Amino acid sequence: MSKILFKKVKNLNLPQGQYALFGSSALGVRDIRECQDIDLIVKPGLYKKLKQDPRFSIKKIETVNVSKEYLNHEEIDVFEEWKPGIWNIDYLIDDSEIINDLPIVKLSEVIKWKKKKNRDKDKKDLELINKYLDKKD
């Protein structure tokens, strides 16, 4: 599933330096685990352009702690901000690494986010990330 999703991102032909993959997609591209969707963070100018793109629909997340808008195209969710906490989107994108021709948020930042979220699935992902990092060393 992950490879199909990554191809869909590439087919969007988004401008380099304006977006990066985050969340579980940053794990999927590294073969840490399969991802079921793609979370893209994008710079504000690109978000405004994509908001006008008919391929994307506007969605909203409403919870007790979070209210935010994002864009969706098939299994791809596009965010101009990242929660919880304050994340510098420009930094995350500018500091991303290229894997399989896609800009991916560095694993160190994914770890910080997973620790902050601290859901059961994040705890499982952190275990998988640690195993992955142990194998690399």
CATH number of the domain to which 35 belongs = 3.30.460.40
Q: What is the pLDDT of residues 52-65, one digit of tens each?
A: 999 999 998 777 66
Q: Which domain covers residue 53, as residue numbers?
A: 2-106
121 located within any domain: no
63 located within any domain: yes
Q: What is the pLDDT of residues 1-23, one digit of tens each?
A: 578 889 999 999 999 999 999 99
Q: What is the pLDDT of residues 116-133, one digit of tens each?
A: 989 999 999 999 999 999
Q: Is 36 exposed, middle or buried (0-12, 13-18, 19+ CB in 10 A)?
A: exposed
Write down the pLDDT at residue 1.
Answer: 57
Which residues share a beta bridge with 19? 42
21 located within any domain: yes
- Does this model's pTM top 0.85? My answer is yes
130 located within any domain: no
Q: Quick one: which H or E segment has residue 57?
A: strand 57-62
Q: What is the tally of structural domains in the chain?
A: 1
